Each structure stands twice: as C-alpha cells, then as structure tokens.
C-alpha cells in the first residue's frame, strides 16, 4: 500500500478553459460598461472610484476561486483520501470506502468550476473534467461542508484523477470484476516469471504497417506457415459440454500450434461458441481439459487467463469510459505497470486507427471501432494465445483487411490464434488450418494447403460434410 501520495486532476482542461475565457471576457465587459455608465450619468468622482474599486474586488473573488483547482491535488494518506477542489476539501476515511468505479459523466456549462451538489441524484460532484472520472460509494453516508454554511449528506461522490489506476492502487481498492485479493497477492510473481521465461511476441510498434494496403494481401498470403513440430500452445482434450440431455460439444480434441491461425467452422448451433466459452474460462466443461501455453485453464484459472486474449462476438464496454480509459482499465485489471501499458496503449490505438477517437466515450463508437477496441484490449498483455469469435462479422472490407494484417503480424511473432468464422473464403485464404464442427463433433481437420488436392476447395468439403441430416460418430 502506498501512503502520502498526491494526484492531480486537471490535465484535461477541455471543458474548463473555454468557460474560463468566457467568464473573464464577460467580467471585463461588465466592469467596463458599469464604469462607463457611472461616469456618464453620475457626476461624482469619489463615488465613481468607490464603485470601480467594488467592481475590482467583486471580480477578484472569482478570479482567485476559479483557477484554484489548477493548484490543488487529491491526496492519499494513511487515513484515506482527501479530495481537494481548489480551497475546498473532503476527507474520506479509508474504511468508509465501499467501492470505486471508473465512470463517465458529461460535464455541462459551469460545472468544472465548482463542487456541485446534485440533489436529485444525491451525489456530490467534485469533477474538473470528464477524464478519469471515478464514482466513489461509501459504506454509510457522510456529511460534507459545501461552504457558506451549506452541508450535504451523501454516500456517493464523483471526482476525477489524471492517473486514476494509480489512485486505486494507492488506496488498495480494485475495480469491480478484478481478481480477488488473495489470488492477486499469492500468484502475480509466478505469472510474471512464467511470462518472462517464454519468448514474448513483439510490441505493436513492430506490427505490420497498416498504411501499406497494396502489399497487405501479399503479406498475408506470404506469411510463414507453422511447421508440424511447432509447440502446441492451445490444446483441447476430450472436451464435452451438455445442456440437460443435449450435448453441445462432444469429446472435442484439437490443438493450435505456435505461429498458426486455426479456423473453427460450423453451421449455426454446431458448438463453436460453446467451445470458445470453455477455452476462455466462461463455461465449465463437464469433461476434458483445456491447456493454454502449458497451463491447465480449469485447474489454474488465474494463470491460464493470463496467457490469452479474447475477442468475443459481442464485446461489452463501460459505455461511459473513453476508448483509452477502457484500455487503461483493462491494463489495471491485468496488473500491468502503468508506464509500459501507457506506451502499449498508444501503439495499439495508433495501429488500429483509433488514436483520434481515443477520448470519445465507447458507446459512441461504431461497430467496427468497438471490434478494434476489443482487439486492442485482447492484445494489451501480449498474449501467447488469441481467441476470436466471429472476428470479421460486420467489419467493412478495409477494417477486415486491417484486422487480418494485425493477426498475421501476431502469428509471425509466434502466437497461436484460433478464430471461429462462417466466412469460408476468408478461412481458406487466411487460416493455416481449419476444423469443421458439426453437431458438437470435429468431423474434419485439414491444412488449407492440402485442401485443393484432397477436396477441390473448402466450400465443397464443408457442404458435403455438414448436411443437416448427416449423422456423426465420435
């Protein structure tokens, strides 16, 4: 636990500066007009000077008050959190904190200038900007002084901090959904050690340059195929999942090697998503094992989950976070060091053409942008295994090509990639190996290079094997 640390909260001045300039302009215009009017209509020089002095004092008060947040910082000390806002401060005892969650609340008008008591929501807003906002919930309501004798009793405060993950760490508070305390304390070094022992995929700075579209396909097709001896990084053995009497996945065994892209194909309801859920720790198999980079996922779930990145079919985001904050949140959840994760986030946002939109809230992203953000989140911790559910669904051709380039670059660095898709042409041109799942069984598995020789093409193989009334045997 880190004690006595200060945290700035005014790095993002986008809401504040325009309002400050507007306020100063209005104050100057108002003072000038009043002085002129007084001189024209009142013939009393001493009174005129007194009015001018009063106006100057009247303007001095907000002129000191308004910029005061720029010179104050929140503080985390032994007792807890001291939220500061200019001259005002609010003491939150450490033991009173129930939760701290990243959030996003849109600031309006003069809100960045003051602490606002929102009576309707029963919330105290101590927010300078929309960046790095945190919603603090107290175990029991506390009473805070608001100045001029006013008081508010609340159990919810909204504030912001430039480096909010560090603030959470200093308070020893974890965002909801992060690992439980005991797990994180017991195992992080061993996970880290394991990661360091393995050959690490290169940083995104080394990924293929997305600004070379003409060479993109050539690069994809020319990517090295894995040799048969490469390490099996993803291994499913006899995986089975039933829902009541219905067997969705039956004794499934498959492997994906380092430097290989494996396409999992199948008709609707074949069992692809169920398989992916079992290999990502979302759905427990009733039989069989999942090994990721040598770790038994269901026996060592925390270590297993550190090995892979997952891009689900429908990614979920905290809509009030910006794209960058979403990635910072994931980096914090994964326990990545702040400085290096910031660099990595910069690299990923640039490579995925999201840099310009990084400060917009995720809920305003288009479908393709959400998909790219989801991919960035999956690549943040440089996983050895990448699992993607229908990654090309809904992407325009350009975005799909960009995604393919990134996946190829990741494959070249030795990652094992498994993706599910309905797009047979993409699977044939892009994957190294394909497996066809039918009624929960893997009924065919073939290297794409030998498809033509054995079956003509993937389409012919797929349709001949997946007739709806076709019986399958284990």
Ligand X SMILES: Nc1ncnc2c1ncn2[C@@H]1O[C@H](COP(=O)(O)OP(=O)(O)OP(=O)(O)O)[C@@H](O)[C@H]1O
What letter does residue 6 receive in the DSSP assignment? Answer: E
- Residue 57's DSSP bridge partners are none
- Residue 262 Cβ vs ligand X, minimum distance, rounded to whole Å: 15
Q: Name the phi and psi angles at 315, rounded to 5.
A: -75, 145
- Residue 441 Cβ vs ligand X, minimum distance, rounded to whole Å: 12
CA distance 280 to 272: 12
- The residue written with tokens 């797929």 in the block is 462
Task: Give the strand pairing for 441-447 and 416-420.
Answer: unpaired
CA distance 200 to 381: 10
Question: Which residue stretch of 45-53, 63-71, 268-276, 402-410 sits at the interface with ligand X (rule: CB under 6 A)?
Answer: 268-276
- The residue written with tokens 């550190």 in the block is 306
Nearer residue to ligand X within complex by CB, 313 or 446: 313
314: helix, strand or coil = coil
Asked whether position 270 contacts ligand X by CB under 6 A, the answer is: yes
Question: Which residue stretch of 53-61, 106-114, 272-280, 399-407 sits at the interface with ligand X (rule: CB under 6 A)?
Answer: 272-280
Residues 129-158 that bind ligand X (CB under 6 A): none
- Residue 248 Cβ vs ligand X, minimum distance, rounded to whole Å: 3
Nearer residue to ligand X within complex by CB, 322 or 420: 420
Question: Which residue stretch of 135-143, 219-227, 266-274, 458-466 sits at the interface with ligand X (rule: CB under 6 A)?
Answer: 266-274
Identify the residue among 271, 288, 304, 383 touching ligand X (CB under 6 A).
Answer: 271
What letter does residue 199 receive in the DSSP assignment? Answer: P
Residues 34-73 that bind ligand X (CB under 6 A): none
What letter does residue 322 receive in the DSSP assignment? Answer: B
- The CB density around residue 270, as the number of other CB atoms within 10 Å, is 23
Identify the residue among 18, 269, 337, 456 touching ligand X (CB under 6 A).
Answer: 269
- The CB density around residue 167, as the number of other CB atoms within 10 Å, is 23
- Residue 286 Cβ vs ligand X, minimum distance, rounded to whole Å: 13
Asked whether position 274 contacts ligand X by CB under 6 A, the answer is: yes
Identify the residue among 243, 343, 450, 452 touching ligand X (CB under 6 A).
Answer: 243
Nearer residue to ligand X within complex by CB, 173 or 461: 461
- Residue 251 Cβ vs ligand X, minimum distance, rounded to whole Å: 15
Close Cβ partners of 272 (under 8 Å, ≥ 6 residues apart): 264, 265, 266, 389, 420, 437
CA distance 88 to 145: 9
Asked whether position 268 contacts ligand X by CB under 6 A, the answer is: yes
Nearer residue to ligand X within complex by CB, 68 or 393: 393
CA distance 220 to 276: 25
Nearer residue to ligand X within complex by CB, 115 or 276: 276
Residues that bind ligand X in the complex, under the rule CB under 6 A: 243, 248, 266, 268-274
């Amino acid at each position: 636990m880190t004690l006595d640390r200060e945290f700035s909260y005014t790095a993002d001045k986008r809401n504040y500066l325009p309002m400050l300039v507007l306020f100063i302009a209005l104050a100057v215009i108002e003072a000038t007009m009043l002085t002129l009017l007084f001189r024209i209509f009142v013939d009393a020089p001493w009174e005129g000077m007194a009015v001018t002095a009063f106006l100057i004092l009247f303007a001095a008060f907000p002129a000191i008050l308004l910029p005061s947040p720029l010179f104050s910082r929140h503080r985390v000390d032994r007792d807890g959190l001291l939220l500061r806002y200019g001259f005002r401060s609010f003491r939150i005892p450490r033991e009173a904190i129930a939760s701290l969650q990243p959030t996003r609340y849109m600031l309006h008008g003069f809100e960045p200038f003051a602490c606002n008591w929102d009576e309707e929501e029963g919330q105290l807003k101590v927010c300078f900007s929309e960046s790095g906002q945190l919603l603090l919930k107290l175990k029991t309501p506390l009473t805070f002084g608001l100045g001029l004798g006013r008081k508010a009793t609340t159990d919810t405060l909204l504030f912001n901090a430039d480096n909010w993950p560090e603030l959470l760490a200093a308070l020893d508070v974890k965002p909801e959904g992060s690992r439980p305390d005991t797990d994180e304390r017991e195992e992080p070094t061993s996970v880290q050690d394991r990661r360091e022992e393995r050959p690490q995929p290169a940083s995104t700075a080394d990924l293929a340059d997305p600004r070379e579209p003409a060479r993109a396909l050539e690069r994809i097709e020319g990517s090295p195929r894995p040799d048969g001896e490469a390490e099996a990084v993803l291994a499913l053995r006899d995986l089975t999942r039933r829902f009541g009497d219905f067997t969705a996945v039956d004794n499934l065994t498959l492997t994906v090697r380092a430097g290989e892209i494996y396409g999992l194909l199948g008709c609707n309801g074949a069992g692809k998503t169920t398989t992916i859920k079992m290999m990502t720790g979302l759905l427990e198999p009733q039989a069989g094992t999942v090994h990721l980079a040598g770790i038994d996922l269901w026996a060592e779930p925390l270590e297993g989950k550190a090995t892979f990145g997952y891009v689900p079919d429908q990614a979920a985001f905290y809509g009030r976070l910006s794209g960058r904050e979403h990635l910072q949140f994931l980096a914090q959840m994964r326990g990545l060091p702040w400085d290096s994760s910031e660099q990595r986030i910069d690299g990923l946002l640039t490579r995925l053409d999201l840099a310009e939109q990084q400060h917009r809230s995720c809920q305003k992203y288009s479908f393709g942008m959400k998909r790219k953000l989801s991919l960035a989140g999956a690549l943040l911790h440089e996983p050895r295994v990448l699992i993607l559910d229908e990654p090309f669904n809904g992407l325009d051709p350009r975005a799909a090509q960009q995604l393919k380039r990134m996946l190829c670059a990741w494959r070249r660095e030795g990652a094992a990639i498994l993706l599910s898709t309905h797009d047979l042409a993409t699977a044939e041109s892009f994957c190294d190996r394909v497996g066809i799942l039918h009624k929960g069984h893997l009924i065919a598995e073939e290297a794409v290079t030998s498809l033509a020789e054995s079956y003509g093409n993937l389409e012919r193989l797929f349709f001949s094997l997946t007739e709806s009334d076709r019986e399958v045997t284990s």
